[in-house]
Structure 1
């Protein structure tokens, strides 16, 4: 009698989808410096909770993640305290996250490959926040379970409120942070 070598266990429909530890990429913005200079250079500091990433506290953060893992991008001003006059300091907002093609020499070419599922904005500051509740915009998405392992650079497009001005300032990251996708 021969035994079949085929397994009767069903194949996973979305391999890597169940990576349950979410990663947080927190970006702090020196709003005063960024709006004065019109640049994010020396005004942006990024940190994450990944293991093995590089560039903590800089604008060139490399976050290590796995296929299927959820990543949350959180942006906040360095100064988050309610002022004595009852007003809040200007707030930053991620307007877009643009992944760049890593195989093309021009680093500004937008990647045509799908790297994330459901990458979009969530939350948002409301006008009733108090000094005990920090409220901020954030983006989240799951790394596609079929994303090829490798290094993917991205550009943050930030929308900054300006002190005593109605118009918003839109700035792009000059130095591009990245995610390093590991296979599951």
Structure 2
């Protein structure tokens, strides 16, 4: 292959697709504490497998990632003991990940610029679930290859199923974790 054709092939590739290593952001929730307080403050702990991040084991994790990289947010309760009747406790679920406008100085405003594309689940996994099978919910997405390098704070919207009432409680993270996007 000539160097001219090789350069042409390299130009056509999406530079973000060069990041094949997926990152996992694991969130543990103390379901009883969160439900009793009506808040995720002191009830949520996050960790990831990124290199160079900070805040491991806290609610203000900073995950270092690259443009085009896939991230998987996995959430589960701290108490994962199977009950005597063979069922599992209610599982927390991430309903949404909202990126915040840190440039405006108000971290509660939603960012106008998109930096992330959600990856949808295909098929019908909910039909396969039953009370005897533990279910770990996750949220997956890709950092856009065009996202500017920088720090992007976000808020998790977490759904908790109440143990006895089966009502759902929706809570937002109090501290704001972040993605530190590096250029490819």
Q: Is the shorter-chain TM-score for this pair beyond 0.5, marking a shared fold?
A: yes
CA distance in 1, matches of 2:24, 2:54: 14
- State the shift of 1:135 in Å: 2.5
More strand by share: 1
CA distance in 2, matches of 1:59, 1:120: 25
- State the shift of 1:129 in Å: 4.2
Q: TM-score, normalised by structure 1?
A: 0.89
Partner of 1:162: 162
CA distance in 1, matches of 2:174, 2:61: 13
Q: Equivalent residue of 2:104, what SS? A: coil
Q: Tell me, which stretches of 5 or more residues in structure 2 are unaligned? A: none
- The Cα offsets for residues 73-101 of structure 1, whole Å up to 9 and x where unpaired, read as 00000111210122321210001000001
Q: TM-score, normalised by structure 2?
A: 0.89
- State the shift of 1:18 in Å: 2.2
Contact 2:72/2:138 (<8 A) preserved = yes
The size of the alignment, in residue pairs, is: 176
Contact 1:121/1:137 (<8 A) preserved = no
More helix by share: 2
Contact 2:93/2:137 (<8 A) preserved = yes
Contact 1:52/1:64 (<8 A) preserved = yes
Q: Which moved more, 1:40-49 or 1:7-16?
A: 7-16
Q: Tell me, which stretches of 5 or more residues in structure 1 are unaligned? A: 1-5
Q: Equivalent residue of 1:111, what SS? A: coil
CA distance in 1, matches of 2:32, 2:67: 37
Q: Which moved more, 1:77-86 or 1:149-158?
A: 77-86
